[in-house]
Structure 1
Amino acid sequence: MALRHQKTAAVEDSINQSLKNLSDDELFTFSGFDEAAAERSGYSDYSYWRSTFQVFLKNKVALSLLILMGVILLFTFIQPMIPGQRSATEIFNDASGMQLRNLQPGGEFWFGTNSIGQDLWSRVWSGTRTSLLIGFAVALSEAVLGILMGVLWGYVRKLDRLFTEIYNVLDNIPQTVVLILFSYIMRPSISTLVFAMCLTGWLDMARFIRNQILIIRDRDYNLASRCLGTPTRRIMLKNLLPYLVSVIMLRMALAIPAAIGNEVFLTYIGLGLPVSIPSLGNLINEGRVLMTSAALRYQLFFPAIALSVVTISFYIIGNAFADASDPKNHV
């Protein structure tokens, strides 16, 4: 035991003697710093939108419907340019000059003809294009107005009373009355329908955004941004709106079939687009009259199927994308 202590003491004396013979520069050296390596050590390849699409792509039903809607949307625009396609407004006659009325679906007319000899195949695709145009225009307009008004309404306290009074006045006017009134006053057209739907359609979006802004307006990160002097515009764009992406996308997706439904309703009561402009509303209204005849019900079935596919697809796609863009569902 004593021998072990002697050896340990001898080693320590040797080390101490060696350290005394070294200068401070030899004893201590600064560790090198590599800025690029430091950046790599704290780097994360996380991307919100990439994560959103990864979650969305896992939903096979929504993905399939999105592809289907993309194909339908593309085909509605290229269909008139495909060789051999007939005009949606042309009336076809036989060799004797008689109109080819109410022909059953077949090889020549795939969806048959209507009561004045027009090709129903071309009219369905033309009507789908018109209705989708109305739906996208209304959804985009409502989103822009609704988001802008909703964010200002919810975040800027001085504007709360003003926007509340405007909302109370406009919200008490039924949208149906607005649609009917403007359809009477203005010339029936696509722009008239879009304007009438957007006149009060943004209210629900604005009210919803306002309520969501009130929930997150005074959270710690927003208070910190205000204390640091961050401009209001930047707080709205960077702190508030990204938190609401999921609900905004859902509202926009549901606004498209809602606008198409309003167009169908106006046509049903005789205030929609003129018959010279094919739309799903016009086609369904024409087919509704023929429902009592079993041989002519195809004139209602084809546009009704197109309307159902569009409505259901946007509903499912909107819900799936809203779930995927919800930060709670991200890893």
Structure 2
Amino acid sequence: MTAPEQRAVAGMEERLLFTLARRNEAEAERTATSDYSYWRSTWRAFLGNRTAVVLLALMMSLVLLTIVQPYLPGQKDPVHIHRDPVTGLQLRNQPPGPDFWLGTNSIGQDLWARLWAGTRTSLIIALIVGAWEIAFGILVGAAWGYVRPLEAVITEAYNVIDNIPTTILLTLLAYIMRPSFQTMIIAMCATGWLGMARFVRNQIVILRDREYNLASRCLGTPTSRIVVRNLLPYLVSVIVLRMALSIPSTIGWEVFLTYIGLGLPLDQPTLGNLLNEGRQVMMAPSLRYQLIFPAAVLSVITVSFYVLGNAFADASDPRNHF
């Protein structure tokens, strides 16, 4: 057999060892794209933190109980003063028992109903103030950090407002306006956005002159689109962290204003009112339950939001995704 014939036979034998692969268009398209999802990966990383998951379940249970408590059977009016049906006297400082699960306060009001009504009011205030802080703080901070002509104007306005002590400003606003739910919200919204605006501004100054933002400006991309698409996604984790911390901080300010006598009226239960009432009787060992119960709820809210904020901030970092 000649050399060309040998090579031809060898080639035929090699072809018999392989099978021609056929192209599958659907399979090629499927493998050409990634199924990565930022929020799905964030949630998966968050669920890997067992402490945060437990506190999330605890916080959701507390919020759910706060919402449904008035509709549960056998619930009492939080502002109703209970009296002895025989003597007509107020059932003052009754210890926890079957009739009053958490006892009564110094004028005969049910502490169980007041605790959840106060938690509901304080959480509503905190959520409204927190939402304002995020929305207005991000808006001002983004304009302050990215729009250069506005930088000097916003800086001067920030310096003027920030140099007024927050305690004095809150006190004046609460004193000038009649104490009410709206007054409390306005007083806290007046300064609550400053920290967020300053933080967002500092972060945007760091990011605004990077190459991809310069390229976007050269291509004529609108400023709003650059801020929303190029800058704010980098700040998701820290913004969520600050929002989580603003909720217990707002409740703390509400407690402080109540402590100095400028909070909501006593007939409107809040955690601040309950803590202030409990503080007045805490020296009597048999009455300390009036301080322990609202303090425990406030502690759960504060610790839970702090841990959840840090856990979500870590989970939203793409470097922690898997």
TM-score (norm 2): 0.92
Counterpart for residue 263 of structure 1: 254
1:90-109 → structure 2 map (5 Å cutoff): 90-95=80-85, 96-109=87-100
Q: Gaps spanning 5+ residues in structure 2: where?
A: 10-21
Counterpart for residue 320 of structure 1: 311
Counterpart for residue 89 of structure 1: 79
Q: Gaps spanning 5+ residues in structure 1: where?
A: 1-5, 15-31
| 2:146 is the alignment partner of 1:151 | no
1:75–1:12 Cα change, 3 Å = closer
Counterpart for residue 130 of structure 1: 121
Provide the C-alpha distance between the structure 2 equivalents of 1:191 and 1:320, rounded to a whole number of angstroms: 33
SS at match of 2:2: helix
Counterpart for residue 24 of structure 1: none
2:3 partner amino acid: T
Aligned with 1:310 (options 285, 301, 305): 301
Counterpart for residue 276 of structure 1: 267
| 2:30 is the alignment partner of 1:40 | yes
Counterpart for residue 52 of structure 1: 42
TM-score (norm 1): 0.90
2:287 partner amino acid: L
Provide the C-alpha distance between the structure 2 equivalents of 1:10 and 1:296, rounded to a whole number of angstroms: 108
1:313 partner amino acid: S
Counterpart for residue 13 of structure 2: none
SS at match of 2:77: coil
SS at match of 1:111: coil
1:9-20 → structure 2 map (5 Å cutoff): 9=4
Provide the C-alpha distance between the structure 2 equivalents of 1:122 and 1:114, rounded to a whole number of angstroms: 11
Counterpart for residue 7 of structure 1: 2
Provide the C-alpha distance between the structure 2 equivalents of 1:35 and 1:185, rounded to a whole number of angstroms: 72
Q: State which drifts further: 113-122 or 89-98.
A: 89-98
Root-mean-square deviation (Å): 1.9
**Cα distance, 1:234 vs structure 2:** 1.2
Identity over aligned pairs, percent: 62
**Cα distance, 1:41 vs structure 2:** 3.0
Instruction: State the aligned residue count.
Output: 311
Counterpart for residue 168 of structure 2: 177
Provide the C-alpha distance between the structure 2 equivalents of 1:260 and 1:272, rounded to a whole number of angstroms: 11
1:111–1:161 Cα change, 3 Å = same
2:321 partner amino acid: H
Provide the C-alpha distance between the structure 2 equivalents of 1:291 and 1:218, rounded to a whole number of angstroms: 57
> Deviations for 1:221-271, whole angstroms, at most 9, x for unmatched residues?
212222222221111111111110000000000000000000000000000
1:205-244 → structure 2 map (5 Å cutoff): 205-244=196-235
Provide the C-alpha distance between the structure 2 equivalents of 1:211 and 1:330, rounded to a whole number of angstroms: 26
Which stretches of structure 1, 4 residues or longer, exceed 4 Å deviation after superposition? 9-14, 32-38
1:297–1:316 Cα change, 3 Å = same
1:98 partner amino acid: L
1:13–1:106 Cα change, 3 Å = closer
Provide the C-alpha distance between the structure 1 equivalents of 2:273 and 2:116, rounded to a whole number of angstroms: 13
Provide the C-alpha distance between the structure 1 equivalents of 2:41 and 2:182, rounded to a whole number of angstroms: 38
User: Highest Rg: 1 or 2?
Assistant: 1
